[in-house]
Amino acid sequence: MSKLFGGWTSKRSTHEGREGREAVTYLAAAWCLSYPDEELLGRIPLIRAALSEHDGALAPFESVLRQLETIALPDVQATYVQEFDLSRRHSLHLSYWTDGDTRRRGEVLGEFKRVYRRSEVLVDLDGELPDYLPMVLEFAATVDPAAGRDLLLGFRPSVELIRLALEDDKLAHADLVRAVCDTLPGPSPADRNAVMRLARQGPQTESVGLDPYDPRLLPLSSSKG
């Protein structure tokens, strides 16, 4: 995790109000959705303290934090690999949900890189694809809130599909992904058909050059694997 985000530094040191709550939620979600390691365990007190400064912000993270505190780290890591790395069902790569393995996906990934490059902050991908949700969340929290939020809005159908998949399988991470969705305008879609309708409507704000809205590419299958 430190290698993934080590090249990023915050452009501002203080956050207040809604923006502050969003920044804390995004950064905590970025850490908790990343591969769990000793560094993440050491950050748990910081995560709790930061979220506790905003009414109700800690609650969606409690299940994941309790698992990290009570389950042996190798077991937590094995579960994470099984659910997020070996299964596409919970893929944390946003363009997977809109473009799958199509040729167009390469263009979308290139645009993510251009967004990061325009921030004028060194971004160390460390082997990850640039549409990795924890990376986008940390970018929104600590580098460029406006551009990061536009990425989340532009790929909201992807984030909502991740949430629905996690909810279907009753995984603890579903609550914190919902907390991210709750920072975006309007209610979350109730099911996959509603996500498809959201996708057809297009972005709810001007996005940063990405056009992922081809609802034919959004997967509706709930099959494992």
DSSP state of 86: S
> pLDDT digits over 144-176, tens only?
999 999 999 989 888 998 999 899 899 999 999
Q: What is the DSSP letter of 189?
A: P
- Tens-digit pLDDT profile for residues 168-195: 899 999 999 999 999 988 766 666 766 7
CA atoms within 13 A on the CB side of 97: 28
| pTM of the full structure | 0.80
Alpha helices in 6-120 (DSSP H): 17-33, 38-52, 62-70, 73-80, 94-99, 104-118
Task: Identify the residue with better confidence: 25 or 127.
Answer: 25
Neighbouring-strand partners of residue 81: none
3-state SS assignment for residue 132: strand
- In this prediction, what percent of the chain has a pLDDT beyond 70? 72
Q: Which of 48, 29, 37, 23 is nearest to 175 (CA)?
A: 29
